[in-house]
Amino acid sequence: MALNWVEIDLAALRHNFSQVRQRVGSQVAILAVVKSDAYGHGMLPVARELAEAGAEFFGVSKCWEALKLRSAGIQQPILVLAGMEVEDALAVVAHDLRPAVYRLDHCRLLERAAQHAGKQARIHLKLDTGMGRLGIPLPDLGPFLDQLAGLKHVQVEGVFSHLATSDESDKAFSQEQLARFRSALQMLHDRSISFTYAHIANSGAVMDIPEAHYQLVRPGIMLYGSLPSKDILSPAPLRPVMALKTKILQVKWVPAGHSIGYGRAFVCSRPTRIATIAVGYDDGYPRVLSNRGEALVHGVRVPIVGRVSMNLVTLDVTHVPQASPDDEVVLLGTQGTERISAEEIAQKAHTISYEIYCAIGKNPQRIFLNSSRRLA
């Protein structure tokens, strides 16, 4: 049995998906963003569960992730958000992947591969409406579309962009991006380029900007039970999906003046009962939470004392007399009526919940709970 593990509650995942559905209705397709191993939650079990729950599309960052989904039997369309590499063209066409496209050389490669295969390559044009990262700059869109018009085996299935500040309470920049997006869509319309999906909504926009839903939305973080930020105006009631648990290896009394761990970063001011638990920064738990984080033992919050080391953390359990070796400890998640959220950890670690999930989710010991799917 593992000394620490990550639990993934698939019932919570389904609940969160249903919250997205409730927000966008049945006429808008949901593209579940499952890149980066579903933000650390396990891409294949998450995608299978969401496919069953009705996700119409999946989104990954790279082609190899899409191929992994295809090999696992996922038949829904898959958008490759970071686009393709030159060597991916044949696989994109063979497996009907939808690459984000922002380079003409990629379009030409897809044209050749699709012609060769006797198929159409379906693409989603990625526009830069203000994020400033990937995407066709809007002044270049006209010439880009002129070139694209000559490629008969490349079909524009979608046109999309990404919002930089949809999770902020001030939506002014999102509205600017939306205005630019609308003008770009009009350019396609003026050229009689028809496509099925315009899309721009991430979780922030799913919740706060209904006019950004168009024909498809791309939620990520809200599926995993977190708001993109605390500034969301109209938050959905979400349930956390991931928990990080471990066990007490040893409990002992140490006298006042005794120091704990590397660097002697904590010195006991009184006789203290120390529980050493089997988790560390190698498990994605941030080292910056040394002397700052908390854990749950017998449903009670206890402080981390001393430094978080690679595989061990030390807790002050003086006020939890029943704490004993082999007891379960929760670093992220719920125990009794107490809960430690990814947001709480992220705030203390000066980061965002996304990064906490991705880091903790690298733990190889994952347990999937409450699947609605019958085991084969």
Ligand X SMILES: Cc1ncc(COP(=O)(O)O)c(C=O)c1O
> Cα–Cα distances in Å, from 223 out to 41, 94, 147, 160, 260?
10, 29, 38, 20, 39
- Under DSSP, the state recorded for 41 is T
Q: How many residues does the chain have?
A: 376
Minimum separation from the CB atom of position 88 to ligand X (A): 18
Site for ligand X in 4-33 (CB under 6 A): 33
Minimum separation from the CB atom of position 35 to ligand X (A): 7
**Nearer to ligand X among residue 122 and residue 162 (C-beta):** 162
How far is the C-alpha of 98 from the C-alpha of 78, rounded, in Å?
6
Per CB under 6 A, which region of 107-115, 150-158, 215-223, 269-277 contacts ligand X? 215-223
- Applying CB under 6 A, among 20, 34, 46, 81 the residue interacting with ligand X is 81
218 touches ligand X (CB under 6 A):
yes
In terms of Cβ atoms closer than 10 Å to its own Cβ (0-12, 13-18, 19+), residue 4 is buried
How far is the C-alpha of 114 from the C-alpha of 126, rounded, in Å?
20
How far is the C-alpha of 209 from the C-alpha of 213, rounded, in Å?
7
Phi/psi at 17 (nearest 5 deg)?
A: -60, -40
**Nearer to ligand X among residue 55 and residue 295 (C-beta):** 55
Residue with tokens 């198929």, as numbered in its chain: 119
How far is the C-alpha of 376 from the C-alpha of 98, rounded, in Å?
29
**Nearer to ligand X among residue 200 and residue 330 (C-beta):** 200
Minimum separation from the CB atom of position 314 to ligand X (A): 34
- Applying CB under 6 A, among 41, 162, 245, 273 the residue interacting with ligand X is 162
- Applying CB under 6 A, among 225, 228, 240, 293 the residue interacting with ligand X is 228
232 touches ligand X (CB under 6 A):
no
Per CB under 6 A, which region of 10-18, 178-186, 213-221, 241-249 contacts ligand X? 213-221
Site for ligand X (CB under 6 A): how many residues?
10
Residue with tokens 């984080």, as numbered in its chain: 293
Hey, what amino acid is at 309?
S
Per CB under 6 A, which region of 62-70, 212-220, 342-350, 362-370 contacts ligand X? 212-220
How far is the C-alpha of 219 from the C-alpha of 211, rounded, in Å?
15
DSSP string, 190-242: HTT---SEEE-B-HHHHHH-GGG-TTEE---GGGGT--S-TT-SS-------E
Question: Is-contact 230 207, C-beta < 8 A?
Answer: no
219 touches ligand X (CB under 6 A):
yes
Minimum separation from the CB atom of position 174 to ligand X (A): 13
How far is the C-alpha of 185 from the C-alpha of 189, rounded, in Å?
6
* E strand intervals along 96-224: 98-101, 121-128, 136-137, 154-160, 197-199, 216-217
DSSP string, 101-121: E--HHHHHHHHHHHHHHTS-E
Site track for ligand X across 27-66, x = CB under 6 A:
------x---------------------------------
99 touches ligand X (CB under 6 A):
no
- Applying CB under 6 A, among 45, 77, 135, 220 the residue interacting with ligand X is 220
Site for ligand X in 250-279 (CB under 6 A): none
Site for ligand X in 168-207 (CB under 6 A): 202-203
How far is the C-alpha of 344 from the C-alpha of 322, rounded, in Å?
26
Minimum separation from the CB atom of position 177 to ligand X (A): 13
Minimum separation from the CB atom of position 202 to ligand X (A): 4
**Known catalytic residue: 35?**
yes
In terms of Cβ atoms closer than 10 Å to its own Cβ (0-12, 13-18, 19+), residue 2 is middle
> Cα–Cα distances in Å, from 278 out to 77, 239, 364?
41, 26, 14
- Among 152, 230, 252, 262, the active-site one is 262
**Nearer to ligand X among residue 202 and residue 246 (C-beta):** 202
135 touches ligand X (CB under 6 A):
no
- Applying CB under 6 A, among 221, 242, 289, 323 the residue interacting with ligand X is 221
**Nearer to ligand X among residue 112 and residue 239 (C-beta):** 239
**Nearer to ligand X among residue 77 and residue 306 (C-beta):** 77
- Contact residues toward ligand X (CB under 6 A) are 33, 81, 162, 202-203, 218-221, 228
Residues acting as catalytic residues: 35, 262
